[in-house]
Amino acid sequence: MTLAATDTPLVASHDAVLLDLDGVVYRGGEAVPGAVEALGEVSEARLAYLTNNANRPPEAVADHLARLGLAPSIEDIVTSAQAIAGVMSHDLAPGAVVLAVGGDGLREALRARGLVPTDDRHAAGLAAVVQGYTPDLGWRDLAEAAYAVQSGLPWYASNTDLTIPTAEGIAPGNGALVHAVRLATGQEPVVAGKPYAPLFEETMERLAPTSPLMVGDRLDTDILGARRAGVTSLFVLTGVNTLTDVVNAVADERPDFVGADLAALHDPHPAVVVSGGAAECGGARVELRDRTLSVVTKGTSTETLRAIVGLGWACRAESDVRLSVDETIDA
């Protein structure tokens, strides 16, 4: 596999840009530097915001984005809570009572689909248990979920991201909490968030785009999910995964495009030319030296990143040896 290329600004080839939030648009409460400005320059493509974080309802997410300087509509925001509620509404009878282990975003999504969330594991007619992220979740909540799953109830989860980027660093995500219940029960949940299909299906149903572009910071959710859904992807270096991770990624987790941040939407992405142990892209040149990718000449940020990744993938196609990067681009 090689990186895709375009001689025109990347966003010009797409009618919808599907944006992950945590680590792409913001970290915690603060915008990623340059993100709001880059998105404000998008004029032709529709912006949609896809989040695996099930804690907040779409209205709260929209308010957060508005405070940062963006102006999304509620319909532009698609959460994993909405996606899993949609799955459950197909599986369960209307008005089914479900044990909801999560935040307001999960509960509101369930109600919107005609389901009845409860905190009581002993509620009459309990039909299922669903788990979503909230920072207030405690041991007792996880234990109640585990007891409900052990009783034979179907188990659903909004997403399984092991970590979540915050303003202070990388913190445990919903996947870590789901794993705790998995360890206690030996069962596997039905999952809606990236990389699974339901979140993408919900988005495509709303937007009906002809040439969407998914932008993400995680290879195992954003990029893998886009590849499974047949959606072109752009990886940015503002969140969880690193440039070294991209160079060493397995085929299913390799993005079509790479960029330092959302400004890469407005860059052309020239072809990478690999020759022997070197690669050139625009004004950038990178060489392989003792399993290390070394930047010899920097071009633009996007050109240099593309040369690094292009050479790395070419070298790993010949020998599946983990490579390192001795010089990266400041995001």
Q: Which residues are catalytic?
A: 20, 22
Q: 100-117 burial string, b = 16+ CB within 10 Å, else e?
A: bbbbbbbbbbbeebebbb
Query: Which pair of structure tokens corresponds to residue 250?
Result: 């397995």
Distance CA 217, CA 32 (A): 12
Distance CA 230, CA 218 (A): 17
Starting at the edge strand found earlier in the chain, the sheet holding 190-191 runs 116-118, 97-101, 126-131, 155-157, 190-191
Distance CA 46, CA 53 (A): 21
CA dihedral 111, 92, 130, 20 (to 10 degrees): -70
> Strand ranges (DSSP E) for the chain?
16-20, 26-27, 30-31, 46-51, 77-79, 97-101, 116-118, 126-131, 155-157, 163-166, 169-172, 190-191, 212-216, 232-236, 257-259, 273-275, 278-281, 284-289, 292-297, 324-325
Distance CA 298, CA 295 (A): 7
- Helix%, strand%, coil% for the chain, nearest 5: 35, 25, 40
> Which H or E run contains 303?
helix 301-318
CA-based nearest residue to 310, from 261, 264, 277, 283: 277
CB 10 within 8 A of CB 268: yes
Distance CA 255, CA 243 (A): 12
